Structure 1
């Protein structure tokens, strides 16, 4: 539903959003205060209908990130490590280098997308341990766990104790066990719903990796390929393999870019899972999906939605390419330093 709004309203929203963002993300995006209308959207942290005080609602937002390793033949030889190390892990190194995070997460997206109950549980536990901006929890629509930016530190015993207390009206087990039951509840729901299977299929529309897809971008905007020029100047890689990308029909180039950008959206979207406790009789008649958590002896209704599904604009291709280079350079530099330290230790021994 579209609503007419005043400029003052948009300015107040802009001030609130800016004040809640970490400093390094303050300029990431802004509210267009010159607009005269906004979209009124559902609050997916809540169940539609019914009163909050009747049944508390717990919602989890997960940013799964890219759930597969690329195998594109257009990945440069010096970047072949992409085929064995996840983009998430390499990006963590860059974020630590740029002080966007205080420590590297042990979360592995390949675990979350594996289809294995044990590995999914491991992934959720890792996200819980170091939420960053990849794992947030809302109680009745209010953020109660995780942060608004990437700097959220490891979950401390004090944070966990407070979270345990907040869970008391949702997960009705003894003190000290609720957080573990919560992790199990989220993992079981991800596993049972199979929701990430569909997301992974969409992510895999990226068949050429940014190193291949960026070449057709320059053809589409009718400009000389800046990447080919860079490669020719550096002489680190041959440009001959990219002649194929430049030679395919224009309709196919459009499709390559369309699928890449759809995949980019799927790699950066969030999954919102909302829970409310129920009983077995009501659960069977509910219009929502339901799950029995055996360890807690409880029934839960749940619903799953994807958010942040805005189609990424074509102009972001250059941004993606530059970020990819920065991630690779920082990660490979870290690997070299580790190898050098290892060699020095070996020489001393």
Structure 2
């Protein structure tokens, strides 16, 4: 595919995450692009400024750049790795798409008025890239209807075997998301005196399979979405491909119409219950959430504390010992394929061999396997699910649920994750102790 000959006006800003920015195709019908979005890599302003990007590449041969650049790793990772773990009906179509400096520069300029200010300050479109990702438009730009993006996060409590005394009590009693939310609120309060809205959302409820608990989870997501005016990214709502905010009265009326309720009720709470009831069938009857929970749990069978114990055992003779992951190469696609070849037989029944024997630590020879398993689990912990509902004119189409944002994670992040994990658990342990001390 080649997007260079389309106009930047044919693409509409949808949303962005830490690594990519997404535009949906809204131009004249084109069999290659209609119903698709373009995912483009971003670059941190601390790494390289937009001015440097332009100076560095304005005179270079783009054909040579394109030939030398690999496809975005997301494309190959999904087709060769993720597709073996998640059924194809729950995955978007992904393919490589050619872009150019001129196209990306114009798109970057166009998107400035739509991007959040904090994102603009942090990063920009990486105009050095000559390849982007073309993917199924799951939020329905130009097609009517509405879509909901949920970032569900951690689905399970950890295996208790390798947890330290300092963290064991809270890590087995509270979900990682609840503890991490508390940790972030304290940090933001001390750094910027800005505390995000309190949320009652708990991923353990969403993944429970129990209708009442799932309903409670969606209601909590809605409440935090309203309280933050859409700033909390665990829930995003799209109408006809455009992300809406809770304070958008017109959008509420349109959403109310799609939910078949009285559009005259413009209060932010008006569509709440019909909205929740619309989501429940997909979340409860489709197997995707159960698949994600099983993958997260079986891939993270040791918790990062257990992985750190295994790492320290493997490097016991080193002085000084390296940090977790230090010196380890990033896994190649071939290694990921070999990993999946090993993982699937090990966990064919959803169980994790060896965890019932509390006297055994995995062999040091299994260290690399468990490192890759933890990285893969992190991918599924950080994914999003899109629930898409058809327009009133297309009610013959079935709602669908899809998982996105399944990029591979880096070995270099393991040490930082281990530090963060301990800080989160110990901070929350102090919080629980204070509550008990105050008699709450």
| TM-score of the pair, normalised by structure 2 | 0.58
Distance 1:209 1:30 in 2: 35
Does residue 74 (structure 1) correspond to residue 74 (structure 2)? The answer is: no
Q: Which runs of 5+ in 2 are unaligned?
A: 1-94, 189-193, 226-231, 325-357
* Residue 407 of structure 2: aligned partner: 310
Number of aligned positions between the proteins:
290
Aligned residue number for residue 268 of structure 1: 382
1:39-188 map, 5 Å: 39-46=133-140, 52=143, 56-80=144-168, 81-99=170-188, 101-131=195-225, 132-145=232-245, 159=247, 163-175=251-263, 176=265, 177-188=270-281
Deviations 1:224-278 (A, max 9, x none): 2447xxxxxxxxxxxxx99945x521xx222211211111111110000100145
CA distance in 2, matches of 1:330, 1:43: 40
Give me the whole-angstrom Cα distance separating, in 1, the residues matched to 2:220 and 2:208: 15
Higher mean C-alpha deviation, range 196-205 or range 173-182: 173-182
Counterparts of 2:103 and 2:310 in 1: how far apart (Å)?
42
Query: What is the CA RMSD across the aligned residues, in angstroms?
Result: 3.3
Q: Secondary structure at the match of 2:205?
A: helix
Return the offset for 1:23.
Answer: 3.5
Helix, strand or coil at the partner of 2:166: helix
In structure 2, the CA distance between the partners of 1:70 and 1:14, relative to structure 1 (3 Å rule), is farther
Cα 1:77–1:304 change in 2 (3 A) is: same
SS at match of 1:41: strand
Contact 1:61 1:134 in 2 (8 A): yes
Could you say which structure has the higher helix fraction?
1
Q: 1:279 to 1:37 in 2, by over 3 A?
A: closer
Q: Distance in 2 between matches of 1:336 and 1:162?
A: 46
In structure 1, runs of 5+ residues without a counterpart are 146-154, 228-240, 287-300, 344-349
How far apart are the structure 2 equivalents of 1:109 and 1:14? 35
Shift in Å at residue 125 of structure 1?
0.6
> Could you tell me how far 1:141 is from its partner in structure 2?
0.7
Three-state SS of the structure 1 residue aligned to 2:403 is strand
SS at 2:400's partner residue?
Answer: strand
- 2:167 is paired with a residue whose SS is helix
User: 1:202/1:178 Cα in 2 relative to 1: closer, same or farther (>3 Å)?
Assistant: same
Aligned residue for 1:347? none
2:148 touches 2:237 (CA, 8 Å); kept in 1? Answer: yes
2:40 maps to: none
Distance 2:134 2:150 in 1: 23
Conserved 8 A contact 1:2-1:37: yes
Question: 2:167, 2:422 within 8 Å by CA — same for their partners in 1?
Answer: no
Which residue matches 1:293? Answer: none
Q: Distance in 1 between matches of 2:185 and 2:117?
A: 15
